[in-house]
Structure formats: structure tokens, C-alpha cells
Structure 1
Amino acid sequence: MKRNPNFPFAPAKSPLFYGWIAMFAGTIGVLCSIPGQTMGVSVFTNYLISSLQLSRDALSLAYLIGTVGSSLFLTYAGKIYDKFGSRFTAIIAALGLGVTLILFSFSHLLSEAISQYINIGFSTVSFILISLLFFFLRFSGQGVLTLASRNMIMKWFDQRRGLANSISSALQSFGFAVSPLFIALIITRFDWSTAYQILALLTFIFVIFAFLFYRDNPEECGLIPDGKIIEPKVKSLPTFKTKKQYTLKEAKSTWVFWVFALSLSFNSFFITGFTFNIISIFESCGLSEEKALGVFIPASIISIITAISGNILSDYIRMQKLLVVFLIGCLLSSLGVAILDYEIGYYVLILGTGIMGGLFSVLASITWPRFYGRKNLGAISGFAMSLVVFSSAIAPLFFSRIYTLTDSYRIAGYAGVVSVVILLIFSVKAKNPQLQ
């Protein structure tokens, strides 16, 4: 399949360096993945439990099955991305996401029809169906569409990679923060089934957008990263030159890959478990649903500031230093959940969630091309993404079972604290392999 980068128009003829257009397009792509992200799912959780006649543990288990299954295919999806590029990959992922959202909107009716046809209990059928739908939702949305969009942005920049990602991350952080409120507003105005259909329509519109504006890399368009060769103004500043293009096998053999990948995976694990059960977590502490959803606004402000600062600093400092700050944010967020019964816990939770949310996009986007080059970026980032997605799969059931057994989420918070302390110890040796 030919990529045809000059159709329907040639990026090289753009009066503005096309990398900035690709940055904006990729940002829209990441935002369109929200229905497949945890915050997109969490708003529908209670409606799915009620309509599909499932317990919270059962829905969490279905989420686990679907998400773990999707994580097993993301490395292969990354290789497809390397071969066919961001436009083809994003279009296929968005089409899959849109169809899945339509099926979600009719999941209760489909379960009832199948149950009557094969004479099996409604709850059993709905559990199997929702597990399958979660597979396609997480694979297409959180996995492939996000991977294709983020990698495209990174390929268009080198010395300005941090600046470009700072703008993208700020927009993403704001979009992710307000999305639960936006989706909740649609549900209130219509109903949860119609809300899924509206999100599907927006996703199908994005397919046309991706066809028009997605381009995989500057070289195939007759351009170079950043639009021109940029030399550092201060010679003492690091330039982070890529000396070796790593294969996936070589990347996995380095210590630093696992430190960063597991740190990003912890973020996905904890924030998924928290967001998926956020209303229940706050209610268990005697706090309202409004206060629960209200966490996202102040956290997003901190996240935007952190994302902009982290991305700009990433052009000048080692990723290891940003990793340490990121893990401190993870530590605070975990501690916030553990002590949410106290008023201080609410503010600790917001601060930690904001810090780790802002720096997640920095580490997830910039680390892999800087450490391992762009040649096999899809395979390497795809494998890292599979670990992130796998971690997110376990979290809802982990949180749910802790609550079922202890009538509190406190232990989940303390477990997070212990895990982050271990990662902080390991981060001491998290050096860029290009420097060795």
C-alpha cells in the first residue's frame, strides 16, 4: 500500500512548516481516543452496570479481559505502523473505534436479543459481549490511535521535539480533564446510549480529518525534522544526538527501557483503577459525585503547567530527572487515595495526579525516539504501550476487589506508595543508552 504523502496536497508546499500542522492533527487524534481511555469509560460505568445487570466486580473483570487481550496485539500493531505509517494506521483505528462505540450504545439490546435466541442468562451474555467490546475499544482507542498520533508528532521534530510536545500535551491535558464533564453533560441531555452514538459520529468525522492531514514523517514529504537543521545556541547544552537505531529486541535488553516502561505502566495502572472507580472511591469517604468529578479541573491546571514545563525542559535536561519528578507525582497521588478520609488527602491527590498526568505525556512521547531512534519507533513504542495497556487492565478489578473485601480503597493507595518507592530506587540507573 502506497502512502501517497502528497495526496490530496503536498506538505512541502505549505507556507508553514508542516510539522506544526502534524502536531495539531496528532493532538486531535489523541483526544479522539478519549472514549477508549479510562476517563471515557468511567463516566459510563454505573450505566453499564445497571443496563447490563452486572456487578461492579463483573464489569471490572470484563474490562480486564478485554484490555489484557488488546495489549497482546499492540506490539504487532506497532510493526504495522512502522510499515504503513500514521495515516493508514490512524484511519483504521478510528473506524474500529467508531463501530465499537455504536455497538456499545446497543449493548443492552444486543445482550437481550442474543440471550433470548440462545436461551442463556442475560447477565452471562452481557458479560461475554462487553468483554469483547472492551477488547476492541481499548485496542483501537487507547492503543493504536494513540500510538499512531503520538509517534507522528515525534517524527516531525528533533531539536524542537520538547517544544512541540509541550503544546500538544497542554491541549491533551485540558481535553482529557474536561472530557468526563463533557460526556456526562451529553448523557444528562440525552441518555448514555445516545451519548455513545454522538461520540461515534465525532470519531467518523475524525477519519476524514486524518485522511486529509496525517503524514508519517518529514523525509517522505521532501522535508527534514524541525523544518531546518538547528544547532544549540549554547554548546554546553546536550543535543541528544541519535547514534544508534535500536531494534525492539535491543531496546528490551537495556535496563532503562524497563525502568521507564514500568513507571509509565504504574501510572496507567493507578490512574485507571482510580478513574474507573472514582465515584465509588469518593462515596466510600463520604464525598459527593460532584466533588469526585471536580478533581479533574484543578488537576488539569497542574497537569498543563507540568506538561509545558516538562516538555520544554526535556530539550535541555536528561529524561531521568523528569522521571524522578514523575514518580514523586505518582507517590503523592497514591498517598492521596490512601488518606482521602482526611481533607489534606484531597489536595495531595489533586497535586500528585496533576504532576504525573502532565509528565506522562512527556515521558511516553519523547523517551523512545530519543533513547532508541525513529527507525523502529512503532515496534518499540507499541511494546511499551502493550505494557501500559496490560497494567491498566488489572487495575479496576484490583481496586474493586480491595473495596469488596475491606469496604475501603485505602489499601490500594498504600500499595501504590510501596510500588513507587521501589521504582524510585531503580530510577537511579535510568541513563540514556545513546550516551553509553
Structure 2
Amino acid sequence: MKRNPNFPFAPAKFPFFYGWVSMAAGTIGVLCSIPGQTIGVSVFTDYLIDELQLSRDALSTAYLIGTVASSSILTYAGKLYDKFGARFTAIFSAIALALTLVLFSFSTGIAGRFSSLSGIKYSIVSFTIVSILFFVLRFSGQGVLTLASRNLIMKWFDKKRGFANSISSAIQSFGFAVAPLFIAMLIAEFNWQNAYLILALLTILFVGFAYIFYRDNPEECGLIPDGKITEESANKNNAFTPSKDYTLKEARNTWVFWIFALSICFSAFFITGFTFNVISIFESVGYSQQKALGVFLPTSVVSILSAFIGNIVSDYTRLQKILGVYLLACLLSALGLAILHIPIGYYVLILGNGVMGGLFAVLASLTWPRFFGKKHLGAISGLSMSLIVFASAVAPLFFSLIFTTTGAYTYAGYISALMVVVLLVFFGKAKNPQLN
């Protein structure tokens, strides 16, 4: 498949460095993945439960099945990304995401038709259908589209990678913060089925946008990362420029890959479990629904500041140091949940979630190209993404089972804190392999 990087226009002829266009385009791509992210799915949860005649546990199980299944093939999707590039990978995933959103809109009718034709109970048919739809939704949205869009930004920058990602991360954090309100507004104005159709239409519009503006890397366009390199910038941060391109097999045989990958997974695990059960979590300690939903705004402010500062600092320091701060924030989040029944727990949770979320955006984007090079970036980040998706899949059920068993979420916090402590034990091995 020909990439045709100079069609419909040549990036090399732009009046300024095209990497900034790629940064903006990749950021929009990540935002377009929101319907496939947990924060996008959660807004529709109660409507799907009612219309598809499923219990909350049944819908969570369908979500688990679909998400775990999607995580199992994301590494292969990353290899396809390495072969075909960001443009065609993003287009493919966006088309799949749009079609899935359309099918979600008609899921009740589809389930009803299959049930009447087959004689199988409606809830069984609806459970099967929604499991399949969750598989495609999570694979295309949270998985492939996010992977292609993040890697697009990373490939166009080297020494300015942290600065470019700081701008992108801040916009992403704001977009993810307001997305539930936007989707809820669509549902209130047009009903949940039409809200899915509107999101599908926006995703289809992105397909055309991606074809016009996505370019996989600067080299195939006759450019170099960062644009024109001055002598000063060429001598700056040479220690952070990879000298070796690792294969997937070589990367996964290193300690540092698993320490960073599992650390990044913790954020996906904790935030997903927390978000899915946020109202129940706060009600279990006597807080109102308004108090529960109100936690996201201050958290997003802390997240945006953390992402911006973390990305800027990353251009001048080792990622291992940022990982240390990130893990301490993870520990605060877990302990904040465990002690949420006392007033200070609320503020500890906000601080922990905010810093953890902001630095997640730093580490999930910058680690793999800095540590392992860009040649096999799709395969390596694909494996990381598959682990992230898997972690997000098991979290809702884990939190739910803790609550069902104990009547509270306290032990979910303590067990999560123990996970972070284990990661901190191995923190000393999280060194950049390019510097060994």
C-alpha cells in the first residue's frame, strides 16, 4: 500500500515545520477516540442496561469480555501500524469505530430481531451483541486510534518531543474532562441512540481529516524530526536520543519495559475502576452524587498542570525520575480511596488522581520512542497498549467484587496501594537501556 506522503499536499512545502500540524492532528485523533474510551462508554451505561435488559454485572462482564479480547490482538495491530503508517491505521480504526457506534445506536432493534427469529431469550442475545460491539469499540477506539495518533506526534519530534507532548497532553486532558458533559448534553437533547449517531458522524468526518493531514514520519516527507536543527539544539540532550532501535522481542526482554508498562497500566486500572463506580464509591462513605461528579473538575486542573510540567521537564531529565513521582501519585490515589471516609481523603484522592493522570500522558507517549527507538515503535507501543486495555478491562469487576464482598471500597484502595509498593520495589531497575 503506497503512503503517498505528498498527496494531497507536500509537508516539505509548508511555511513552517509540519510537525506542529502533526501534533495538532494527532491530538484531535486522540480526542476522537473518546467514544471508545472508558470515560465515553460510562455515560451510556445506564441506558444500555435499561434498553438491553441487562444487569449492571452482566454489562460489566460484557465490557470485560470485549476489552480483554481486544487487548489480545493490539500487539499485532501495532505491527500493522509499523507497516502501513499512521494515516491508514488511523483511517481504518476510525471507520471501524464509526460503524460500531452506529450499531450501538441500533443495538436494541438488532437484539430484538435476532431474539424473535431464533427464539433465544432477549437478554442473552443482547449480551452477546454488546460483547462483540465492546470488542470492536475498545480495539478501534481506545486501542488502535489512540496508538496511531500518539505515535504520530512522537515520530515528528526528537529533542522537542516533551514540549510538543506538553501542548497535546494539556488539550487532551481538557477534552477528556469535558467529554462526559458533551455526551450527556447530546443524550439529553437528542436521546442516547441519536447521540451515538452524532458521534459516529463526527468520527466519519475525522476519517477525511486524517487522510488530509496525517503523515507517518518526517523522513518520508523529505524532512527531519524537530524541523531545522541548529548547532545548539543538535548538541542538546544527546543522551536522550536513542542510538539503537530495539525489536519487540528485545524490548520485552528488558526489565525497564515491564516496570514502565506495568506502572502505566496501574493508572488505567485504577482510574477505570474508580470512574465506573464513582457514584457508588462516594455514596458508600456518605457523599452525594454531586460530590462524586464534582471530583473530576479539580482533578482535571491538577492533571493538566502535571502533564504540562512533566512534559517540559522530560526534555531535561531522565524518565525514571518522572516515573518515581508518578508512582508516588499512584500511591496517594490508592490511599485516598482507602481513607475517603475522612475529609482529607477527598483531597488526597484529587491530588493523586490529578498528578497520576497528568504524568500518565507523559510516560505513555515518551517512554517507548526514547528507550527503544522509532523503527518498531508500533509493535512495542502496541504491546504496552494491550496491557493497558487489559488492565482497564478487569478493573470495574475487581472494584465491584470488593464492594459486594465487604460493603465498601476501602480494601480496593489498600490492595491498589500494595500494587504500587511492589512497583516501587523494582523502581531501581527502571533505567533507560540506551544509557547502559
- What TM bracket, shorter-length normalisation? over 0.9
| 2:146 paired residue number | 146
- CA distance in 2 between counterparts of 1:205 and 1:94 reads 9
Maintained 8 Å contact 1:49/1:55: yes
Maintained 8 Å contact 1:42/1:277: no
| 1:133 paired residue number | 133
The CA deviation at 1:291 is 2.4
| 1:387 paired residue number | 387
The CA deviation at 1:428 is 1.7
- CA distance in 1 between counterparts of 2:245 and 2:223 reads 20
Q: Say if 1:280 and 1:51 are closer, same or farther in 2 by CA, change over 3 A.
A: farther
| 1:58 paired residue number | 58
Map of 1:34-433 to 2, 5 A cutoff?
Answer: 34-231=34-231, 239-433=239-433
Q: Say if 1:51 and 1:285 are closer, same or farther in 2 by CA, change over 3 A.
A: farther
The CA deviation at 1:432 is 0.1
The aligned amino acid for 1:35 is: P
| 2:13 paired residue number | 13
The CA deviation at 1:208 is 0.8
The CA deviation at 1:59 is 1.2
The CA deviation at 1:285 is 2.5
- CA distance in 2 between counterparts of 1:234 and 1:140 reads 38
- CA distance in 2 between counterparts of 1:98 and 1:33 reads 10
The CA deviation at 1:238 is 5.6
The aligned amino acid for 1:300 is: S
SS at match of 2:177: helix
- CA distance in 2 between counterparts of 1:291 and 1:190 reads 27
- CA distance in 1 between counterparts of 2:397 and 2:322 reads 30
Q: Say if 1:374 and 1:227 are closer, same or farther in 2 by CA, change over 3 A.
A: same
- CA distance in 2 between counterparts of 1:49 and 1:372 reads 43
- CA distance in 1 between counterparts of 2:340 and 2:234 reads 46
SS at match of 2:388: helix
Q: Say if 1:272 and 1:381 are closer, same or farther in 2 by CA, change over 3 A.
A: same
SS at match of 2:54: coil
The CA deviation at 1:288 is 2.7
**5+ long unaligned stretches in structure 1:** none
SS at match of 1:44: helix
The CA deviation at 1:429 is 1.6
The CA deviation at 1:124 is 1.0
Maintained 8 Å contact 2:159/2:237: no
Which moves more between the two structures, 22-31 or 399-408?
399-408
The CA deviation at 1:231 is 4.9
The aligned amino acid for 1:55 is: S
The CA deviation at 1:273 is 0.9
The CA deviation at 1:168 is 0.3
Maintained 8 Å contact 1:251/1:372: yes
Maintained 8 Å contact 2:239/2:435: no
- CA distance in 2 between counterparts of 1:383 and 1:319 reads 19
- CA distance in 2 between counterparts of 1:70 and 1:231 reads 45
- CA distance in 1 between counterparts of 2:62 and 2:230 reads 49
| Count of residue pairs the alignment pairs up | 436
The CA deviation at 1:306 is 0.5
| 1:28 paired residue number | 28
Maintained 8 Å contact 2:159/2:233: no
Maintained 8 Å contact 1:104/1:133: yes
The CA deviation at 1:42 is 1.1
Q: Say if 1:295 and 1:242 are closer, same or farther in 2 by CA, change over 3 A.
A: same
Residues 125-161 of structure 1, C-alpha deviations (whole Å, 9 max, x = no match): 1111111111000000000000000001000000000
Q: Say if 1:418 and 1:10 are closer, same or farther in 2 by CA, change over 3 A.
A: same
Maintained 8 Å contact 1:303/1:357: yes
CA RMSD of aligned residues (A): 1.4
The CA deviation at 1:282 is 2.1
Q: Say if 1:270 and 1:79 are closer, same or farther in 2 by CA, change over 3 A.
A: same
- CA distance in 1 between counterparts of 2:74 and 2:375 reads 17
**5+ long unaligned stretches in structure 2:** none
The aligned amino acid for 1:420 is: V
- TM-score, normalised to structure 1, is 0.97
Which moves more between the two structures, 330-339 or 77-86?
330-339
The CA deviation at 1:57 is 1.4
Maintained 8 Å contact 1:93/1:144: yes
- CA distance in 1 between counterparts of 2:406 and 2:154 reads 44
